[in-house]
Structure 1
Amino acid sequence: MTANSGIALVDLDEDGVDRAFRADVLAGLRQRQKAIPARWFYDEEGSRLFEEITKVEEYYPTRAETEILTAQGEAFADLIGPGRAVVEFGSGSSVKTPLVLRAIDPAAYVPLDISGDFLRASAAALGEKFPDLDVHPVEADFMRRVRLPDAVAPLKKLGFFPGSTIGNMVPRTAVDLLRSMRATLGADEGERPMLLIGMDLVKDRKVLEAAYDDAKGITARFNANLVTRINRELDGTIPEDALEHRAVWNDTLARIEMHLKATRDIAFEVSGESFSMKQGQTIHTENSHKFTRRSANMLLLAGGWTPVKRWLDSEERFSLILAKSTEQREAP
């Protein structure tokens, strides 16, 4: 593996705290319906817990997506072709990312992630599996345009965004992300880039709720770790024992919602600012939108991507979509 030490593009304050993390948490806690963006789950411990979630019986998306990636390698190779720089939005999965890399024979691999320690660890582990592949980890918030390393700038690009993370965002934020991905990959600077993206599908409510509230309680620990992180990094005093995990299906908005529900009245501080919650109030911590074929296509098109091919697993629970940057034109 040829790898740099990682480019850090995270804006830290004088205390070494991510400014965006502090701003998002404080803004979210000030709202009537308290809410914190799901991307802040993924410190080192959060990333580790999510890897555990992917292995529990109830959590089908990883198994379904892995099935597609395993079965469709030849199709990926035909449609994507060799020699691209694979830019993964998030630290690479130890299972899914190698399947893509083996299928398409890339020229370089660039994982982007806001969790620097987890990013470097996963990049190093992947480099051991692909010793001849140039790996360039970049510590950055991929919700915004990211400047890629100079070494990969001349290469054709394939964005890789597995796991239906796009479903964590409300539609306007998802569209903004798809547009920033397009900018990161250099959509208007030569050959149009491609994007391989996972999107989970609408299905039975009981299946969906169980996937986000597993019997072992790992998802509950994952949710609670966000509070642990806030207390540690933002001088928080949130009583962790007073919040419990909740996962519910919102049929109107076609999404699973995760919340932390107060089991009693509480008062606390974060970064010197005071907050309170009544018993029964919640902090909304995650959405996981589910898609139909039409809603997935509409979202991609709104974000500047034209769907090329769609694959489903054998039980039709999950979709993996290959899209190409939409060519700019003046007419609607």
Structure 2
Amino acid sequence: MAMSIRELLLQGLNSDPKYIDVSCRYDEQGSKYDEECTNVESYYYYKAEEEIVRTFAAVGLSNLEMPFKLFELGCGSTKKSQIIIDKILRHESTLEYGLNDLSADFLEKVCEDLSAIYGSRLKVDTLAGDFMTVFPKIRNYRGRKVLLWLGGLHCFPLNIQPELLLNIASTLQDSKPISKLYKNGVHVLNRELKSTIDLSKFELEGRYVENKDVSSASYIQVWLRSLVEQTYVLENVGKTVTFGRGEKLLLYGGNGLSHKYTFEQLEHLFASVGLQIVNQWDNGHSALTMVKRKS
């Protein structure tokens, strides 16, 4: 559960050694100080980041399927983000942009600046608060989305970084019906065996296996890869199941699913059970095959 700034500060003061979490410095005033740092000649970090962002905007954006909604974590002044926004708007008439920062007041000023630059071409909505507060809002967006985090992991303690990355991964889970269908077996498992397997701790993966052997077929394999070591209780059967980090939970039995056949493979399959093909109609994706018993 996300903590308020007050709770975060108290947690730090009650610890040994006492500390102030780095995120607490980014209120409205702190965000202004951060912006001032970008103009300091010796502050190499900002300039190095900006160079990488320009490279990504020139090369990396071509790998993304547009249109999408751009969400940004810890957006700050958005100066670096604008390099990416400018590139996108060269090809798209508009862009949806959801920006996050701790300070709602600071975000309001950033929105005013963006409106002055882009007008109605940039459709902005704000997500004020810490990351854990805004992750569910990003996760609930059902269209195509890209998550931009130019601040990166370096400011967060090592023990927090895996949790942050898990939450980022869960916000980007594919919401397409086919993805939901593949994963629904886990929901059935949780219901029937009374368990709590958490899909946000798995990544959906798959591959196409091509097989030209006349006695076989091509097919798809789909699985959930465990992102962490995790154990769940199956209450209805009094057992537990453990998934190691990187372990696959296959979403099929046997060799695979959604088999794909060449004409020769179908012909061989039918012949093996005493049938022969009379005719076949296909559209390049599916086929309707008429068969009869061999005389």
TM-score grouping bracket, smaller chain normalisation: 0.5 to 0.7
Q: Is the 8 A contact 2:204 2:224 kept in 1?
A: no
Q: Is the 8 A contact 1:176 1:303 kept in 2?
A: no
Instruction: Select 1:96's aligned residue among 74, 80, 86.
Output: 80
Segments of structure 2 that go 5 or more residues without pairing to the other structure are 178-200, 206-222, 227-246, 249-295
Partners of 1:61 and 1:97 lie apart in 2 by: 15
**Correspondence 1:120 to 2:108:** yes
List aligned pairs for 1:163-178, cutoff 5 A: 163-164=151-152, 166-178=153-165
Q: How many residues align?
A: 182
**Correspondence 1:134 to 2:30:** no
SS at 1:34's partner residue?
coil
Q: Deviations over 1:238-295 (max 9, x none)?
A: xxxxxxxxxxxxxxxxxxxxxxxxxxxxxxxxxxxxxxxxxxxxxxxxxxxxxxxxxx
Q: Is the 8 A contact 1:28 1:36 kept in 2?
A: yes
SS at 1:81's partner residue?
coil
Aligned-residue Cα RMSD (Å) equals 3.0
Rate the CA distance shift 1:305–1:90 in 2: closer, same or farther, 3 A.
farther
Report the more deviating stretch, 72-81 or 32-41. 72-81
Q: Which has the higher helix share?
A: 2
Q: Is the 8 A contact 1:89 1:160 kept in 2?
A: yes
**Correspondence 1:109 to 2:97:** yes
Code of the residue aligned with 1:140 in structure 2: it is G
Rate the CA distance shift 1:114–1:69 in 2: closer, same or farther, 3 A.
same
SS at 1:83's partner residue?
coil
How much does 1:89 deviate?
Answer: 0.4
Partner of 2:167: 180
Rate the CA distance shift 1:303–1:50 in 2: closer, same or farther, 3 A.
farther
Q: Is the 8 A contact 2:202 2:224 kept in 1?
A: no
Rate the CA distance shift 1:305–1:53 in 2: closer, same or farther, 3 A.
farther
Normalized against structure 2, the TM-score is what? Answer: 0.54
How much does 1:96 deviate?
Answer: 0.4
Q: Is the 8 A contact 1:25 1:36 kept in 2?
A: yes
Between the two proteins, what is the percent identity of the paired residues?
27
Partner of 2:175: 189
Partner of 1:28: 12
Q: Is the 8 A contact 2:53 2:84 kept in 1?
A: yes
**Correspondence 1:160 to 2:148:** yes
Q: Deviations over 1:196-215 (max 9, x none)?
A: xxxxxxxxxxxxxxxxxxxx
Higher relative contact order (CA 8 A, sep 6+): 1
How much does 1:303 deviate?
Answer: 9.9
Partners of 2:147 and 2:73 lie apart in 1 by: 7
Code of the residue aligned with 2:147 in structure 1: it is G
Segments of structure 1 that go 5 or more residues without pairing to the other structure are 1-10, 12-18, 192-301, 307-326
Code of the residue aligned with 1:73 in structure 2: it is A
Partners of 2:17 and 2:23 lie apart in 1 by: 18
